[in-house]
Structure 1
């Protein structure tokens, strides 16, 4: 009888904290440049294309984050049934939000009428922003559960969670400012663009502050699953 060799996952396909961080940082950079160009008065074509590309990096990083946040369920003393873990909920809702941004940024390349802008650009953008706000809350809860406190400014992970929440709030303001009016203008382009820029910078920093630790963990465990 022939014995099959155990399946080995290709290193390049292994979801790691380093890849997750770089994915969010690259995606954030695209969003930040797009917002800066819009603030500077550039036409929508290039910023829309940059956001389209950046959203895919967000989605990839969000998928990695969701995979790494497993297991989905946990047991809680005093409760008869397992409950969903806050860390997984935060990752899953953020990942859902990135998919909504994919829909929004893709539609922005083609939408022309008010109805199209409202239905296919603003609505998924608003939905993604709400999902990010919810995920930011769950990430704070997860940090509190894991560390027993919500105040730990000496910790890079604490800063990451706080900055992430600020980015989620900024994206929320951006969605409000980007609401499309019947005359095909937005409520407030300054709020929309600055909210996107501030949020993108926050998400870049969210990953940047924890990237060194993730890279150290990967170097220190070369034979184990990458960090």
Structure 2
């Protein structure tokens, strides 16, 4: 969710990137906490998760495009810049969102526990790992320092918190032959919701830092 500003970044692209992250996060927030209510409509809420994953992916691609094209570089739609921490963060984040597209779609299907492990839990875990890698590289860009007076700095730390809670949710969401206790399910849902709130906040901060 980190916004790396530079002269080649258009105000409109950053605006839409932030809005799309907020839309996707809102879907995850709604589904996660609504699932905690009595008698949730599981089919509808799983569909909302999938719908929310789509703007996440488009926004993450804008983020990758933003990190790919830096000042004094030829503008490219696709490039490989392994020495650029922001680029690695953007790439791993985008790949993570693609895996979330897969797992949220498969969660809308009727699967047995083994299919659920392979098609839902596995891409969820891999996507969460990629999100953590992305967050690590963003923290590396700021030398792992916390500055309460810098909104961009705070947004990077909030993003890491969101990635950690997504990982906790993924771990607790494993499929087993026997259903997990309700406490595990609730733990996963709450952490997904908290992570989505973190990403929403980071995207909102991005709206306050639009390029001129």
TM-score, normalised to structure 1, is 0.79
> Aligned partners of 2:124 and 2:149: how far apart in 1?
34
CA apart distance, 1:99: 0.2
| Residue aligning to 1:28 | 25
Are positions 1:168 and 2:163 aligned together? yes
CA apart distance, 1:210: 2.2
Given that 2:146 and 2:154 are in contact with CA atoms closer than 8 Å, whether structure 1 keeps it comes out as: no
> Aligned partners of 1:96 and 1:38: how far apart in 2?
27
| Residue aligning to 2:73 | none
The counterpart of 2:62, out of the listed 64, 79, 98, is: 64
| Residue aligning to 1:200 | 196
CA apart distance, 1:153: 1.4
> Aligned partners of 1:48 and 1:40: how far apart in 2?
14
More deviation, 17-26/51-60: 17-26
**Number of equivalences:** 192
RMSD: 2.2
The counterpart of 1:209, out of the listed 198, 201, 205, is: 205
| Residue aligning to 1:17 | 14
User: CA distance change for structure 1 residues 181 and 32 in 2, over 3 Å: closer, same or farther?
Assistant: same
User: CA distance change for structure 1 residues 17 and 123 in 2, over 3 Å: closer, same or farther?
Assistant: same
| Residue aligning to 2:176 | 181
| Residue aligning to 1:39 | 36
Given that 1:15 and 1:64 are in contact with CA atoms closer than 8 Å, whether structure 2 keeps it comes out as: no
Q: How does 1:105-124 map to 2 (within 5 A)?
A: 105-124=104-123
Given that 1:125 and 1:175 are in contact with CA atoms closer than 8 Å, whether structure 2 keeps it comes out as: yes
Q: Which runs of 5+ in 2 are unaligned?
A: 1-9, 71-80
Of the two, which has the highest radius of gyration? 1
Q: Secondary structure at the match of 2:208?
A: helix
Given that 2:128 and 2:166 are in contact with CA atoms closer than 8 Å, whether structure 1 keeps it comes out as: yes
Given that 2:114 and 2:176 are in contact with CA atoms closer than 8 Å, whether structure 1 keeps it comes out as: no
With a CA cutoff of 8 Å and minimum separation of 6, indicate the structure with the bigger relative contact order: 2
CA apart distance, 1:106: 0.7
CA apart distance, 1:14: 8.9
> Aligned partners of 1:175 and 1:65: how far apart in 2?
24
